[in-house]
Structure 1
Amino acid sequence: MLEHKVTMHVHLVTTGTSIVANALKKDISEDIKNTLIKAKLATPGSPEDLELKEHVSITSRVFNEVYTIVVKDPYTMSAELNSLKYFLENGLVDKVLLLSTDTGVGYFCSSIVKKYLSEKAGIDTEVKVVKGFGVVFEEGLMSLLDTACKLISEYKKAGHKVYVCATAGFKPETSFLIIAAFLLNVDSVYYIHENFREHVELPSIPLTVKAVYLNELKKIYEREKLHGFLPADEIEENVLKELSERRLVTIEDQKKVKLKKWIKVLLPYIES
C-alpha cells in the first residue's frame, strides 16, 4: 500500500528500442555492433534475443559502451529520455515506471534508461517487464493494460499525479494504453511528435462508456465468473449486436456471450 505523504509526479513510459537503433549509427566496437544487430533482428525469445538480456550488467562491455554513448547525448539517443526532457527540466518527475517489452532488446534498452535516470537525474526508476508485450499481440495487450491500469489506479488513489508517455513501443498496444489512460483519468498523456520533434500533450478527453453498454458488460463479467458465460437471451438484441460489432464480446454457439479478454482486464477499473 502506498502512503500518501507528498504528491509525486509519476510517469508511465512504454519503452522501445531506439537506443539500440541509434547506437548502431555510432562508431562502436565491431563485436558489440554485431551483438546489437543480432539482437535487433532476432525473434523474441530466441537465443540471440535473450543474449542481449544477459548483457544487462555493470561488467558487460556491451552495456557499458552503449550506456556511455547515451550519457553523452541522452535526448538524441533515447526516445524515452527525449520524451521526458520537458518534465525533467521543469521538475515534474519524481518517479518513472518503464513498461518494457518482453524481449531481450527491450529489457536492455529499458535498463539503460533506468540507469541514466537513476544515476544522472536522481529519479526513482523501475523497469516493469510486461509479459508477452512485443511478442504475442493479445497476451501482450492484456498484460500491458493489466500492468498499466493497476499502476495508474494505485498511484491515483494515493493522491499522486500520473502521466503516460506514449512515444515509444508498439503503436497498436500504445493506442489501447492511451484509451485506458483517459478512462482512468490520468493527468496527462504526452509524446514527441514525429514530424516536429516537439513535446505534445494530448487533450484530456473525458472518455466514458455508455451506461447501457457498461451495465451489460459488467453483468457479463459477473456471470462469467460464476458460470463461464451469459446466455445471449438475457441481453437486448440490439445491445448484444452493438457489443459484438464493436468486438467487446464473443458469442459462442449463438447463445454463450463472453467478454473479450482485454475488456475483462480493463472493466474493473471503469467507473459506472
Structure 2
Amino acid sequence: EVVKVANPAHIESGYFSIPKPIEFPTEHGLTAHAFYYAPRNQDHEAPAGEKPPLVVHCHGGPTGSAGQTYPFEYQYWTSRGFALVDVNYGGSSGYGRAYRQRLNGNWGVVDVDDCINAARHLVERGLVDGDRVSITGGSAGGFTVLLSLTKRDFYNAGASHYGIGDLELFVKETHKFESRYCDWMVGPYPERADVYRERSAIHYADNMTCPVILFQGAEDKIVPPDQAETFVEACRQKHLPYAYVLFEGEQHGFRQDKNIRRAFEGELSFLAQVFGFEPADDIEPVKIENR
C-alpha cells in the first residue's frame, strides 16, 4: 500500500520527456556532460523534416549541478515542441574533483564554452534546429547567459533570470555569505579587477547579435536589480533588441505563482516572436524593444 508519494501530481507519459545523459566534446580535448530532453506531446506532431528549436539551460551556483530528474519547468518547454539540454558544464559537482576544479579561475569561460559545445553537439547530430537555439538560466546561470550572448556569436536568443551582468558591481553589492565566492572562481578583487571587467557582459553589450529578455525581482539582495537595469540601459542606448520584466515584491528566485507563470509565459512569448511561430497558449505577449 502506497501511503504517500513525493509528488502527487500525475502527468500522462505522453506529455513527459525523460532525460537522456549525454557526453560531448568540448575545449582542450576534454568532454563535458548534460541531460537532453527531447520534445514530447502526444497530441501534436512536428511537420515532416522540421527539427525542434533548442533551449540550452545553464544551472546556477555556479558550482551546482543538473540532475537526472523530471523538473516540471523543463516539461513546459518539451510539451510545447522545444528540445532542452541541461548542461553540467565543467565546475559542476557530481563528476569528480578534477571536473569540479575546471571552473577555478575560469567562471565565464568554461561554462560559456561547454554550453555552446553541448548545443553544437546536438545540432551536428541532427537532433535540433541550429537556427533556433536559445540559452536560459538564473542567477549564476544568468551570468553565463549574458556573457554567452556578448562574447560569442552563436545563439539566436537568450533569457537571463536575475543574472549577473557586472561582476565588479556584484562583488561590491552581494550578500556577505557569498561575498568572497568569486575570489576562487575569478580571482581576488580588486587585485584582478582586469579579469572581473573582462568577464562582465555589461562591457560587451554592443557585441550582442540576438535579442535578450531579462527577468528580475525588485527586492533581490543577492543579485540586486541594478544588475539587470544597467544591462537594459546599455541595450537601450545601443539600440539593441531586448525585453525586461520586473517583478515587484520578488527576491532571488520567484515565489509567487502568478510571477512564476508570467516568467514562463513571457519567455515563451519572447521566443515565439524571435523564432517566428504562434504559441498555442493564450498568453500575454512581451514587448521586444528596438526590434
Using the size of structure 1 for normalisation, the TM-score is: 0.29
Which protein shows a greater Rg?
1
Structure of greater relative contact order (alpha carbons < 8 Å, 6+ residues apart): 1
Using the size of structure 2 for normalisation, the TM-score is: 0.27
Between Structure 1 and Structure 2, the one with more helix by share is 1
